[in-house]
Structure 1
Amino acid sequence: MATLAQEPNEKRTPHSQAGSSEDLERSFKADKAKNGDATDDIVEVSSTADSEDALAAVRVKQAQEGGTIVYRTLSWQKAAILLFTEYVCLAILSFPWAFSYLGMAGGLLATFGVGMGALYTSLILWRYCLKHPQLLNICDIGYQIFGKSKIAYELTAIALILNNVFIMGLHTLTGSEILNTLSNHGTCSVVFSVIIMVVSILLTLPRKLEQLTGLGVVSAISMFISILLVLIFSGIQGTHPAVEDFAEPVYITAFAPKGTGFVNGFSAFLNIVFTWIGHIMYPTFIAEMKDPREFPKALYAVTVAEFILFSVTGIVVYRYTGQYTTAPAVGTLRPVFKKIAFAFVLPTTIIIGVLYASVVAKYLFGRIFMGTKHYNNHTVLGWAGWIGCVTVTWILGWVIGEAVPFFSTLLSLMSALFDCYFGYIFWAFAFFELHRGQLWRGQSWIRRTETAFQFVLIATGLMVLGPGLYASVQSIIDNYNTGSIKAPFTCADNSV
């Protein structure tokens, strides 16, 4: 966990003076007495925290709320907007493709099963954050879960940076694809991706997540319109998708069609898994909420919406395109329909990248400035540091997205590597810590069953890691064999 440096003397508060541990502890106890111990039906928040955790919680609270920049301002409604921003994305238009390999029933079962698992692990994450209010990001959770290990902290930090920067690179690349599609390759693809990067840097400059919620509303509405248009246009075209290799009538299956191999089938399943797994962002959202106890309200609202969007999109588009389904689904639309639907994806592509950029920039900024006046006040050095974190991460994402010739499949490989932990394994260990001493002996059959279920989560994570890595690596090999690997920093047309 990053250490918290002392603020300069002219900005010190009673909680940051040297030798003030007793003041800190008194403040912590007073705060508990004033607000009450937040509880849920499983854990009592901070009731078992040791003095070190208690003091850390007070320092973090002071850093988040004690300056001219107050970070903890998110209501649960605005937290829901951020979740909608994260999940109502272009990946939804890949669900019909997943259904084409898993079948209609198989795709729905996978969507429901993975979604319920994601909701369950998200609630464990939330309870863990309530018990340890000093945790500001996924790195802090990695540090805490694995016995306050600095190694675990650093490894989690590397995963956070790589995960988010790769996703940022994906969004600059996708942005160039959209602009190429809309303009009929109006200019060099690299120029388009640079434009997306510059716009994204400017939109990431606000330092509080609350300031991004307006963009989030625009993103969610824009993507919803795009999804709705894809459904309407698919219905208008009927069972005659606009594909070059149309040779036989469209057909659909209940489960995986004949000839589906392991790589294709498991890649389709992983597509659903990766779309559901967004846990790496949650701790940062929770850390900026006015009342973190209300986070489940946002979580339930978004989960219901996800079930509907994922399922309806998969069912309707697969019904009309069958074995010809592409990822994203706009690939089966006529050119005019494709441009109209794809135009509404552009704002979403930029804004979701901005959200991921903000989370990783917050981690880097906090690691440098936490505990100083520059973290929570408007200072020249503070703003220079924030702008630097934002700009460097966006440039890095753009370079990786353009330089790696098999970037899209590399992103799948990174997702398999990281989502196994952030989607499953982390939260099994968090459960064990939350209920230490109350896992087996003397517990009800419900608790014992839930404890046993944690090993299912660990096994699922390992399944995503092992076969997921195999499927991703094999996809890279297949792309090389078929000659579909793009050149780095190419001006070539990459329209959909």
Structure 2
Amino acid sequence: MSSISHRQSDGDASSEKAEKTSGKDVFSGDEEHDIRYKTISWQFVSCLMIAEIVSNGMFSLPSSLAVIGIVPAVILILFLGIFALYTAKLLVDFKLNHPEVHNMGDAGYLMFGATAREILSFGTIVFAIFGAGSELLSSQQALSTLSNQGLCSTYLVLISAAVTLLISLPRTLDRLTWMGLVSVVVITLSGVVAMIGAGANPVPGRVLSVSMESNFYEAFLAVTNPVFAYAGHFMFFILISEMRRPEDAMKAAWCLQGFATIFYIVFAVVMYVYIGNTVQSPALFSLPPKWAKASFAIALANFLFSGGIYVHTAAKILFVRFFRNTRHIHSHTPLGWATWSLLCFLGVAVATILAIAVPIFSYLIGLAASLFAAWYTYGLAGFFWIHDTYHLKGGMKGVMGRPVGAGLAVFTVLSGAFICVGGTYVSLKLIVEAYADGAVGKPFMC
């Protein structure tokens, strides 16, 4: 059944939507063009997914154990990994049913109309740019640690931004796959080195907690670390769109979630066991200097690559929006390349300005994740299931005839809403407390 056939009887508005979403893949007929997008295997897509998701967020996980205890934190990380796999399945199914969907904005347009497209596209771009800025800050932390804080942090961010720009510039994701593979290797090795460093230098008299009582604010603040450590689904439509065989996308999702969940649990537990409740966020700051330097040095390549792919994602959304169904997508035209280069430059420039000129940027990252990533990774997946089951499998009767699927879809939507509201509250409170405590610095400080 066509992805739009169910709308053909809904009047003029639906006819207009049907005309604009024709069911045609934005990269269809790829083999006939100069620039070919649909070239990536599921193995390399899994590398890109792992490199993007298992990045700097991993280093904050041990601090969650220090707040809520080992057992609740491990259960939470495991549950969120399984839950993220389930929402990935719903996302993949939606993409296969609607090959014209290239990004979250396209999905929003198909389900809810033009306003949803603008909101979800804007949110994806904002979150991608904030993600790039976060990686720039992590790169700056790594370089500052390696140089013993001997260079101005602003200069270090600018150096990282230049490398990030170069990584983002290839038009097709297949040009980034080898860097994705290297990125997976280095972030894994960095975590292993950190665990060895913690094991070789356990904190004397450390205190460990199996479980801990805390208020809602402290508990939810700790929960946000593992929640957003899985927040990478906003890129999945774009990655799947450049696969040779999109139907293999779930294989990549299995690799991602299996690796991420196991590695997250092992890393968080090992670091916490040897450091205890004094573990910092990121955890590498709790290691002796030589071990922190070694781990940061190895992870640096991942930070730079992740920042580059975030910028690439933001640029790709706008580029496809500007030039969809034109020759500039598939051909080496001056306008196409000038626009693409400009979009990448602007993405890096905005991320750099946020990182060095906005003192509360680290808090704003959490706010952006709460407002957008909570929906992209969790909540929207429930809407995907409800939409396709209703329109492709018998309307309301089809939905009600699948009580388990419907219940999980509703739970998914409510989970996204809860994470969004709770995370927003925590992020805003953190900002207020930071100003009250005088913890907010000034722009362009070294």
Displacement of 1:48: 5.3
Displacement of 1:443: 7.7
Answer yes or no: is 1:188 the counterpart of 2:162.
no
- Residue 100 of structure 1: aligned partner: 66
Displacement of 1:369: 2.0
1:354 to 305, 308, 318: 308
User: Distance between the aligned counterparts of 2:262 and 2:304, measured in 1?
Assistant: 24
Displacement of 1:290: 1.0
User: Distance between the aligned counterparts of 1:405 and 1:261, measured in 2?
Assistant: 28
- Residue 307 of structure 1: aligned partner: 261
User: Distance between the aligned counterparts of 2:409 and 2:72, measured in 1?
Assistant: 24
Q: Which amino acid aligns with 1:460?
A: S
2:252 to 274, 293, 298: 298
Farther off after superposition, 406-415 or 418-427: 418-427
User: Distance between the aligned counterparts of 1:356 and 1:119, measured in 2?
Assistant: 21
Displacement of 1:442: 7.4
SS of aligned partner of 2:243:
coil
- Residue 207 of structure 2: aligned partner: 251
Q: Which amino acid aligns with 1:362?
A: K
Query: TM-score normalised to the size of structure 1?
Result: 0.84
SS of aligned partner of 1:57:
coil
Q: Which amino acid aligns with 2:306?
A: I
Answer yes or no: is 1:124 the counterpart of 2:67.
no
- Residue 473 of structure 1: aligned partner: 428
1:182–1:339 CA contact under 8 A, matched in 2: yes
- Residue 3 of structure 1: aligned partner: none
SS of aligned partner of 2:22:
helix
User: Distance between the aligned counterparts of 1:456 and 1:219, measured in 2?
Assistant: 34
- Residue 450 of structure 1: aligned partner: 405
Q: Which amino acid aligns with 1:270?
A: T
Per the alignment, do residues 439 and 55 of structure 1 end up closer, same or farther by CA in structure 2, a change over 3 Å counting?
closer
Per the alignment, do residues 264 and 62 of structure 1 end up closer, same or farther by CA in structure 2, a change over 3 Å counting?
same
**What per-residue deviation string (whole Å, max 9, x for no partner) do you get for residues 35-78 of structure 1?**
xxxxxxxxx78595778479723362447454200111111111
- Residue 13 of structure 2: aligned partner: none
Displacement of 1:372: 2.1
- Residue 325 of structure 1: aligned partner: 279
Q: Which amino acid aligns with 1:174?
A: S
Give the share of equivalent positions with the same residue, in percent: 29
- Residue 60 of structure 1: aligned partner: 26
2:40 to 52, 66, 74: 74
1:159 to 120, 123, 148: 123
Displacement of 1:425: 2.4
1:250-289 to 2 correspondences below 5 Å: 250-255=206-211, 257-258=212-213, 260-289=214-243
Q: Which amino acid aligns with 1:277?
A: A
Answer yes or no: is 1:373 the counterpart of 2:319.
no
User: Distance between the aligned counterparts of 2:220 and 2:381, measured in 1?
Assistant: 23
Displacement of 1:219: 0.9
Per the alignment, do residues 55 and 424 of structure 1 end up closer, same or farther by CA in structure 2, a change over 3 Å counting?
closer
Displacement of 1:275: 0.8
2:87–2:378 CA contact under 8 A, matched in 1: yes
Answer yes or no: is 1:404 the counterpart of 2:343.
no
SS of aligned partner of 2:24:
helix
Q: Which amino acid aligns with 1:298?
A: A
User: Distance between the aligned counterparts of 1:444 and 1:380, measured in 2?
Assistant: 53
Per the alignment, do residues 300 and 442 of structure 1 end up closer, same or farther by CA in structure 2, a change over 3 Å counting?
closer
RMSD over aligned Cα atoms: 2.0
2:56–2:135 CA contact under 8 A, matched in 1: no
Larger radius of gyration: 1
SS of aligned partner of 1:374:
helix
User: Distance between the aligned counterparts of 1:179 and 1:337, measured in 2?
Assistant: 14
Displacement of 1:101: 1.1
Displacement of 1:440: 6.7
Displacement of 1:406: 1.1
**What per-residue deviation string (whole Å, max 9, x for no partner) do you get for residues 228-264 of structure 1?**
0111011101233xxxxxxxx2121222x24x33222
- Residue 142 of structure 2: aligned partner: 178
Q: Which amino acid aligns with 2:26?
A: V
Q: Which amino acid aligns with 1:398?
A: T
Farther off after superposition, 80-89 or 44-53: 44-53
Q: Which amino acid aligns with 2:365?
A: L
SS of aligned partner of 2:90:
helix
User: Distance between the aligned counterparts of 1:301 and 1:318, measured in 2?
Assistant: 26
Unaligned 5+ residue runs, structure 1? 1-43, 241-248, 492-496
Displacement of 1:179: 0.9
- Residue 395 of structure 1: aligned partner: 349
2:4–2:23 CA contact under 8 A, matched in 1: no
Answer yes or no: is 1:422 the counterpart of 2:376.
yes
Per the alignment, do residues 359 and 63 of structure 1 end up closer, same or farther by CA in structure 2, a change over 3 Å counting?
farther
Q: Which amino acid aligns with 1:467?
A: G
Unaligned 5+ residue runs, structure 2? 9-17
Farther off after superposition, 453-462 or 280-289: 453-462
Per the alignment, do residues 59 and 314 of structure 1 end up closer, same or farther by CA in structure 2, a change over 3 Å counting?
closer
SS of aligned partner of 2:327:
coil
User: Distance between the aligned counterparts of 1:439 and 1:118, measured in 2?
Assistant: 27
Per the alignment, do residues 49 and 386 of structure 1 end up closer, same or farther by CA in structure 2, a change over 3 Å counting?
farther
Q: Which amino acid aligns with 1:238?
A: P
SS of aligned partner of 1:176:
helix
User: Distance between the aligned counterparts of 2:142 and 2:324, measured in 1?
Assistant: 39
**What per-residue deviation string (whole Å, max 9, x for no partner) do you get for residues 131-175 of structure 1?**
1101111110111121xx111111111101111111111122221
- Residue 12 of structure 2: aligned partner: none
Answer yes or no: is 1:337 the counterpart of 2:291.
yes
